[in-house]
C-alpha cells in the first residue's frame, strides 16, 4: 500500500477556495501523477494540507511545519499539488528543504493531469485579483464557468 500525502498552494486552496477536487479525482482514477503507482497497489491518502503561505525569499523552511503534519504519519510519498508546481516561485527551494529535513520522504512534483499552463496561471490571477472578492472560486475555473472582466 502506498501511503500518500498532498500539499497544496494556499493561494489556490485558501484564497481561491479550491477543495482539491481534481487532485482527489485523479488520485481515485490514477491519472496524472498518480499513474506512477502500480495498478494493484492500493493508494491510501493519509493527509492533505495547504502550504503555510508565501514565505518571502527568507523563510522557505516555513513549509516544514506543514509537511511534518503529514510526514509524521508514515507517509511514503508527498505530492506537491499541480497548482503549487504551476504558480509557486518557491517550489524548487521547497523541494530542497523538504528533502534535507525528511530524507526518507519521496517528493512527487505534481498531482492531477496538468492542463495548459498559461491558461491556468491566467485563471489563478483572475481569481486572486478579482475586485468583487469571493464571487468566483476555483470551482468555477474547474467547471469552466469562470467569467473574465471582458465578458
Ligand atoms: S492542483 Fe488543482 S485541484 Fe489540486 S488543489 Fe491545486 S487547483 Fe485545486
Ligand atoms: S505561491 Fe507558493 S508559497 Fe505562496 S501560497 Fe502558493 S505554494 Fe504557498
Quick: pLDDT tens for 63-91: 999 999 999 999 999 999 999 999 999 99
Q: Would residue 33 count as lying in a domain?
A: yes
Grid cell, residue 31, equals 491519472
90 within ligand 2 shell (Cβ under 6 A): yes
Question: Whose CA is closest to atom 6 on ligand 1?
Answer: 83
75 within ligand 2 shell (Cβ under 6 A): no
The pLDDT of residue 151 is above 60:
no
The pLDDT of residue 133 is above 60:
no
Q: In the structure, what pLDDT confidence band is assigned to residue 145 with cuts at 50, 70 and 90?
A: confident
In angstroms, the CA 27 to CA 116 distance is 20
* 145 vs 149 pLDDT, higher one: 145
Cross-sheet strand order for the sheet of 77-80: 43-50, 2-8, 77-80, 106-108
In angstroms, the CA 147 to CA 92 distance is 32
Range of the domain at 11: 2-114
What CATH number does residue 106 fall under?
A: 3.40.50
Q: Other CB atoms closer than 10 Å to residue 143's CB: what's the count?
A: 10
62 within ligand 2 shell (Cβ under 6 A): no
**Model pLDDT for residues 78-128, shown as the tens digit of each residue:** 999 999 999 999 999 999 999 999 999 999 999 999 999 999 999 999 999
Q: Would residue 141 count as lying in a domain?
A: no
* 14 vs 130 pLDDT, higher one: 14
7 within ligand 2 shell (Cβ under 6 A): no
pLDDT of residue 150: 55
Q: Would residue 146 count as lying in a domain?
A: no
pLDDT of residue 146: 74
For the segment 128-148, the average pLDDT, to the nearest whole number, is 80
Grid cell, residue 6, equals 498532498
pLDDT of residue 134: 59
Residue 96 CA to ligand 1 centre (angstroms): 22
Grid-cell match 481569481, residue found = 127
In angstroms, the CA 151 to CA 148 distance is 6
Residue 25 CA to ligand 1 centre (angstroms): 10
Residue 3 CA to ligand 2 centre (angstroms): 24
Q: Can you list the alpha helix ranges (DSSP code H) found in the chain?
A: 10, 21-29, 64-71, 82-87, 91-101, 117-129, 138-143
Count of structural domains within the chain: 1
Express as a percent the part of the chain with pLDDT over 90.
84
Q: Would residue 140 count as lying in a domain?
A: no
Q: Would residue 138 count as lying in a domain?
A: no
Burial of 100 (0-12, 13-18, 19+ CB in 10 A): exposed
Q: Would residue 132 count as lying in a domain?
A: no
Amino acid at each position: 500500500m502506498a501511503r500518500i500525502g498532498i500539499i497544496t498552494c494556499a493561494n489556490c486552496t485558501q484564497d481561491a477556495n479550491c477543495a482539491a477536487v481534481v487532485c482527489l479525482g485523479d488520485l481515485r482514477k490514477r491519472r496524472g501523477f498518480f499513474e506512477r503507482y502500480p495498478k494493484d497497489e492500493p493508494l491510501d491518502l493519509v493527509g492533505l494540507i495547504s502550504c503555510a503561505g508565501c514565505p518571502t525569499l527568507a523563510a522557505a523552511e516555513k513549509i516544514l511545519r506543514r509537511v511534518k503534519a503529514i510526514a509524521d504519519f508514515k507517509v511514503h510519498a508527498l505530492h506537491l499539488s499541480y497548482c503549487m508546481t504551476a504558480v509557486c516561485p518557491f517550489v524548487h527551494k521547497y523541494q530542497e528543504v523538504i528533502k534535507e529535513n525528511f530524507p526518507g520522504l519521496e517528493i512527487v512534483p505534481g498531482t492531477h493531469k496538468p492542463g495548459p499552463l498559461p491558461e491556468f496561471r491566467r485563471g489563478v490571477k483572475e481569481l486572486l485579483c478579482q475586485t468583487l472578492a469571493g464571487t468566483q472560486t476555483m470551482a468555477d475555473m474547474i467547471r469552466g464557468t469562470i467569467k473574465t472582466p471582458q465578458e
